[in-house]
Amino acid sequence: MTLLDKNGIEVYVGVDVEVPAPTNNDQWNFDFVGVVIEIDKDNGYAVVEDGDGDCWSVEIERLEIL
């Protein structure tokens, strides 16, 4: 199954992405740019590592490839 970002571009490990500002259910505090380090195709999530080395699970359709 191909997983696409909010613009319809395929997300893959190693790509730089922009993570949007958080909603009430998110654990991060602001939008940020990071690198996809893992993809959970079964659940539609990507693990994104930010510039501080923290990792966040984000729904793939919310990401935007840079």
Query: What is the pLDDT, as a whole number, of residue 49?
Result: 98
Stretch 50-63: mean pLDDT = 97
CB proximity list for 10: less than 8 A, separation 6 or greater: 2, 3, 4
Query: What is the pLDDT, as a whole number, of residue 2?
Result: 81
Q: Which residue has the tokens 């991060």?
A: 28
Architecture category of domain 16-65 in CATH: Roll (2.30)
Query: What is the pLDDT, as a whole number, of residue 41?
Result: 93
Domain boundaries, the chain: 16-65
pLDDT at 15 over 90: yes
